[in-house]
Structure 1
């Protein structure tokens, strides 16, 4: 984010360049050429914020470059943190209900991800809960300790206790062990199988 902030404020400060973000700061456009979308200056180089500042200010003097970058960077005040001084928080998931998966929005989300809905209804539930006074719902995948991995299009988290899930394959003894990063990967695997 700092790189993007520096580029944006730098381009405004100098007034002679507008920067388009494309993964490399080599895509730099002159304001007059923006209408044509033709680059007037293309460096073809990558690098970090120091390299960009060195090019823009035509110096390799790092203390000077850091001062220029600091002048253009929004100030973020650090927050003091201590494990010993934490306030005790209530549970994040209040008024929690675990019900069969039926929300049209969640089913649409699963369908958009290519997950078989009957399979998802068999493997998952729906968590309905309140957080900071607002009602939410999410797909809930159970773990072996009574907790859930929860997911909706805007949130990915867990309901404690957190644990990895072990799912034994039914039928004859297996010689393979499948490992998945998350339950959506598991559901995708089952859908494709």
Structure 2
């Protein structure tokens, strides 16, 4: 789909699919609570006729693509990819109801049925353990322990817009996948991922914005699984789905991004935790000078490597003895 076609997609419908609805609907425009920040005044306007939006509180606005970039904190290329994957069937005119179901071999030599997802326009073709060198190289770039990744992710082959792709797949609570490779981040179904240790243990909960941050945390701790409950939002827009589970714990540790969306989500969690008598610890202060936990992790590993190289060079230097 062209950028013009993508920007012609209904912003009102897109927000509705994300369970974001107008507080006031005047027929030709609607007023929404801004999904980017705490907004009690419904200061985001969507002009249905022009298909444009503006947030009067932050003086931001634009087209459908601009909205996706702002909601998901992604690049222009990633936003286009997300929309193309989500609405691929609108362009191709294909009828997923009549398409054959996809099957793949998985793990223990048994067939795993993979449903085509109509909402995102993505059709998963195959799910296997991660062996693709391009994906392994990408994980190495992100300084993620491969053994840990194998415990939590799969190598997913999928098609969208009549094109084939492969990515690292992280499963969510709706049996969908967040799909990520070096060039794109999409999802078959947008939902949270929760790892609950037990129904009775509500001592602590770790909250991550994306699964790369979660894998970075496990790599830094050198553990394959968290000892306490975990929520991976997979998108800041999913916070409302997770807030009840998050605030059911005595202590909440948040590892969100150091951008406006992440800070607003952190403030919302802090607000809810205070009303539920929870202790909220904002761990983003540990990496305040970095975009997110993974970036901090990568820079830390790079500094460690540089220090090791310097020590090795010092050892190699010949000692200056006394000349006779």
Aligned length: 113
* Alignment partner, residue 191 of structure 1: 219
In the TM superposition, what is the alpha-carbon distance from 1:81 to its structure 2 partner? 4.9
Q: Relative to 1, partners in 2 of residues 1:147 and 1:95: Cα closer, same or farther, differing over 3 Å?
A: closer
Q: Distance in 2 between matches of 1:151 and 1:159?
A: 11
Q: Relative to 1, partners in 2 of residues 1:81 and 1:97: Cα closer, same or farther, differing over 3 Å?
A: closer
Give runs of aligned pairs for residues 161-176 of structure 1, distance below 5 A: 162-169=190-197, 173=201, 175-176=203-204
Q: Relative to 1, partners in 2 of residues 1:106 and 1:88: Cα closer, same or farther, differing over 3 Å?
A: closer
Alignment of 1:114 with 2:155, yes or no, is: no
Q: Secondary structure of the equivalent of 1:163?
A: coil
| TM-score normalised according to structure 1 size | 0.51
* TM-align CA RMSD: 2.8
Q: Secondary structure of the equivalent of 1:153?
A: coil
- Which string of whole-angstrom CA distances, capped at 9 and with x for unpartnered residues, describes residues 142-179 of structure 1? 0111101110000001112x211111247x94622110
Give runs of aligned pairs for residues 70-81 of structure 1, distance below 5 A: 80-81=8-9
Give runs of aligned pairs for residues 9-158 of structure 1, distance below 5 A: 80-82=8-10, 83=13, 89=90, 91=118, 92-94=121-123, 96-158=125-187
In the TM superposition, what is the alpha-carbon distance from 1:192 to its structure 2 partner? 0.6
Q: Distance in 2 between matches of 1:80 and 1:129?
A: 26
Q: Distance in 2 between matches of 1:168 and 1:87?
A: 34
In the TM superposition, what is the alpha-carbon distance from 1:95 to its structure 2 partner? 5.0
| TM-score normalised according to structure 2 size | 0.32
The one of 209, 216, 230 equivalent to 1:181 is 209
In the TM superposition, what is the alpha-carbon distance from 1:187 to its structure 2 partner? 0.4
Q: Relative to 1, partners in 2 of residues 1:114 and 1:146: Cα closer, same or farther, differing over 3 Å?
A: same
Q: Secondary structure of the equivalent of 1:177?
A: strand
Q: Unpaired segments of 5 or more residues in structure 1?
A: 1-75
In the TM superposition, what is the alpha-carbon distance from 1:133 to its structure 2 partner? 2.8
In the TM superposition, what is the alpha-carbon distance from 1:94 to its structure 2 partner? 2.9
In the TM superposition, what is the alpha-carbon distance from 1:130 to its structure 2 partner? 2.0
Q: Secondary structure of the equivalent of 1:188?
A: helix
Q: Relative to 1, partners in 2 of residues 1:125 and 1:175: Cα closer, same or farther, differing over 3 Å?
A: same
